[in-house]
Amino acid sequence: MTSKSRLISLAICTLLAPTVYGDTDTKDESKPEEMVITGVKTETPLTIETDPKAPRQPLPAQDGADYLKTIPGFSVIRKGGTSGDPVFRGMAGSRLSLLLDGDLVLGGCGSRMDPPTAYVFPETYDRIRLVKGPQTVIHGPGNSAGVVLFERDRERMAQPSWKFYSSLLGGSFGRNDEVMDLQGGTPDFYLRAMASHSQQDNYQDGDGNEVHSQYDRWNTNLALGWTPSDDLTIEINGSQSDAEAAYADRSMDGSKFARDNLSAKVIVKNLTPFWKKLETQVYYNYVDHVMDNYTLRERTGTTMQMASNPDRQTEGARLLATFTPTSSAELIVGADTQKNDHTNRSTSNQMMMPYQDMPRVGDAHFQQLGVFGEWTQTITAQQRVIGGVRVDDWSAEDQRAATRMIGNTQHVNPTAGEERNENLSSGFLRYEKDWRRVTVYTGIGHSERFPDYWELISKESLDSISAFNAKAEETTQLDIGAIYSKHRLKSSVSMFYNEIDNYLLIQSRVNKPTGPTSTRSTTVTRNVDATTWGMEADLSYALTDTWRTEASVASVRGTNETDNTHLSQIPPIELRLGLYYNNPTWSAGVFWRVADEQTRVDINKGNIAGQDIGASEDFNVLSLNAGWRAHKNLLLTTGIDNLLNETYAEHISKAGAMIAGYDQTTRINEPGRTYWLKAQLTFD
């Protein structure tokens, strides 16, 4: 066992014993607001909630994945400076659902240049919630690893008023962010306008190697609401965004990430003594993405200018009704639906045949309709039972007439024009009990997930050049945990074990015959059986009214039962430690992140976001932060990330590609020493 393994094991023992200090402190706690957030604590069973506007370390996030990595259990597959793929408990892609204020957003790139988090601008939201595991049914289908909710508040104004929030950030490698959020109105109407921009040049790793990673992102959002009474809200919302981003893991970059969104929401409260709320929502999302090899990099030799322009249009609706049939029960019932169409156009010679002149060709159509119900029953003041069930009707159509194989040659698609329809079900049951200062819980959940675009359309199968007939994935998971809070000490532990039937494994470098004596290498979708288990734990202890210490640990392991190997793309055990000083005016802190080596790998296997490329080394990252509340309306924060300038890479990150003018690395390394300064101005 390595020294880091021993250190992390000791931390686990500490975190799993939350009552050690339980009755030693009888003072009422009065802590000042944390100025810089380095970790997120669990305060309710299997749910984490955090404020995306709060400054945090590492460097405040510029997209959804960058933000989520501050939550224990999350890792990010790095591809460049932005648009990484989030991984929770070793699960990526559509196993982790993502909703933007209730809207479903799906990327267009068949190679995951634009995961849904690429279209998230965190500071323009009021709250981020994570529900772990298959322990809810009201936020869409297939949430086997969990669901992340980026949410905005809607409140009727008591009188004409306005609120303003803005932030400016500057940092190493040309990083600059600008955010504005303006709200105003009367008791009858409100208007909310938001805009954000984030830009960064190529960063350098700890050895001074430049990484092809520049990006430039912007976003605007406008919401108009009508609130004629305390019980009625009608809102129309629209947003636009775009970006360009360089990638260090492939031969192309993203020169366009355009998103257009329209949505409408109606919320009615207190319809009858038993009918507490009715919520309806409809939305439209259109993503237009371009990847090419000439906008953000220099071409070498006689390389042709190539481009691909996929898009995806998603339309959806949701109806949610909340009832209180008794004083001790709450029932939520509803339905949701979405359909999305994916098309593409491309060129291998942009100079002679611009992709803009090419016709769009549809390759896939998906449609889903689900109905669900979730019941919360209070047994006593200290005991609750929560359960839910949902049924989804799925359909998909393979619209590809042909598929591309080696050398870009096209072959007739054996599943061209085929449709598949499936009814899938999910459900959960959870028991919670408050006992003195501890809340304990246990839950069992089952989720059936329909294969997504990247598993069905972007890949082959072992015995065909189409994977359209891949089976749906079924996850059954046990969750247990405890949350402790008393005065100066807060801690929690969350453990899980699951069995996954027909796990959708992506395997690269599979050799297939192309003739009597020749083969080709391809990537396939396979169904295997798998098991994963692990835990997250966190602890915060206020040493005094101004000093506190924090710790968290996350660990996950997995087995591919079919191949009798380790499950791939599993991050190593990780420990985070912090010591902080906070008073109403000043703050300072030191943050230490430790990740163990990862030798439990299965090379060339993984998920739609990445495959294992080999074992990885452990690493330490030490960072400093400070804050100054210069005025009740002005907060200044600063930090130094990776203070010791360590050269390291996340285990699950993509392999570095050969790019002219850049050193190729085994994995894409994380940024070296990074300085940043952020100013936040608010008026309320």
* CA within 13 Å, CB half, 172: 20
pLDDT for res 2: 53
Q: Predicted confidence band at 40 (pLDDT cuts at 50, 70, 90)?
A: confident
Asked whether the predicted pLDDT for residue 28 surpasses 50, the reply is no
Delimit the domains of the chain by residue range. Answer: 3-683
For residues 55-77, give the mean pLDDT. Answer: 88
Are 523 and 459 within 8 A, CB to CB? Answer: yes
In sequence order, what are the residues at sequence separation of 6 or more whose Cβ sits closer than 8 angstroms to the Cβ of residue 374?
136, 137, 138, 331, 332, 333, 386, 387, 388
Are 451 and 422 within 8 A, CB to CB? Answer: no
Q: Predicted confidence band at 16 (pLDDT cuts at 50, 70, 90)?
A: very low
What is the average pLDDT value for the chain, to the nearest integer? 92
Asked whether the predicted pLDDT for residue 276 surpasses 80, the reply is yes
pLDDT for res 406: 57
Assigned token pair, 133: 């595991």
Segment 77-132, tens digit of pLDDT: 999 999 999 999 999 999 999 999 999 999 999 999 999 999 999 999 999 999 99
Asked whether the predicted pLDDT for residue 469 surpasses 50, the reply is yes
Asked whether the predicted pLDDT for residue 526 surpasses 70, the reply is yes
Distance CA 490, CA 483 (A): 8
For residues 24-51, give the mean pLDDT. Answer: 72
Asked whether the predicted pLDDT for residue 9 surpasses 60, the reply is no
* Cis status, amide bond into 32, omega within 30 of 0: no
pLDDT for res 300: 77
Asked whether the predicted pLDDT for residue 585 surpasses 50, the reply is yes
Q: Which of 298-312, 574-588, 617-631 has the lowest mean pLDDT?
A: 298-312
DSSP string covering 527-592, please?
A: EEEEEEEEEEEEEEEESSSSEEEEEEEEEEEEEETTTTEEPSS-PPPEEEEEEEEE-SSEEEEEEE
User: Locate tokens 């809200």: which residue?
Assistant: 233
Are 306 and 350 within 8 A, CB to CB? Answer: yes
For residues 326-336, give the mean pLDDT. Answer: 97
Are 97 and 156 within 8 A, CB to CB? Answer: no
Q: Predicted confidence band at 8 (pLDDT cuts at 50, 70, 90)?
A: very low
Assigned token pair, 541: 């202890």
Asked whether the predicted pLDDT for residue 21 surpasses 50, the reply is no
Asked whether the predicted pLDDT for residue 487 surpasses 90, the reply is no
pLDDT for res 653: 96
Assigned token pair, 282: 């409809």
Q: Which residue has the higher pLDDT, 11 or 664?
A: 664
Are 201 and 235 within 8 A, CB to CB? Answer: no
Amino acid at 20: V
Assigned token pair, 154: 């809607």
pLDDT for res 302: 76
Q: Strand, helix or coil at 36?
A: coil
Distance CA 111, CA 117 (A): 15
In sequence order, what are the residues at sequence separation of 6 or more whose Cβ sits closer than 8 angstroms to the Cβ of residue 535?
12, 493, 494, 495, 496, 553, 554, 555
pLDDT for res 146: 96
pLDDT for res 12: 46
In sequence order, what are the residues at sequence separation of 6 or more whose Cβ sits closer than 8 angstroms to the Cβ of residue 253?
212, 244, 245, 246, 247, 291, 292, 293, 295, 296, 297
Distance CA 148, CA 339 (A): 20
Distance CA 409, CA 411 (A): 7
Segment 127-169, tens digit of pLDDT: 999 999 999 999 999 899 999 999 999 989 999 999 999 999 9
Calculate the CA dihedral of residues 53, 58, 64, 65 and round it to 10 degrees. Answer: -160
* CA within 13 Å, CB half, 385: 5
For residues 17-34, give the mean pLDDT. Answer: 45
Distance CA 434, CA 231 (A): 32
Distance CA 105, CA 86 (A): 15
For residues 598-606, give the mean pLDDT. Answer: 97
What counts of helices (H) and strands (E) characterise the chain?
3, 38
Amino acid at 216: D
Q: Predicted confidence band at 1 (pLDDT cuts at 50, 70, 90)?
A: low
Distance CA 112, CA 540 (A): 37
pLDDT for res 405: 66
Assigned token pair, 317: 């609706």
Asked whether the predicted pLDDT for residue 3 surpasses 70, the reply is no
Each residue of 12-29: b (16+ CB within 10 Å) or e? Answer: beebeebeebeeeeeeee
Asked whether the predicted pLDDT for residue 14 surpasses 60, the reply is no
For residues 306-318, give the mean pLDDT. Answer: 97
Each residue of 284-312: b (16+ CB within 10 Å) or e? Answer: ebebbbbbbbbbbbeeeeeeebbbbbbbb
> E-strand spans in 172-252?
175-185, 189-200, 203-204, 210-211, 215-229, 232-245
pLDDT for res 19: 37
Distances in Å between the Cα of 228 and the Cα atoms of 160, 282, 290, 365, 560 are 13, 21, 44, 40, 56
pTM of the model: 0.93
Are 308 and 269 within 8 A, CB to CB? Answer: no
For residues 545-555, give the mean pLDDT. Answer: 95
pLDDT for res 436: 87
Amino acid at 362: G
Amino acid at 659: I
Beta bridge partners of 422: 394
Residues of the chain with pLDDT > 90: what percent? 87
Domain 3-683 has CATH 2.60.200.20: no
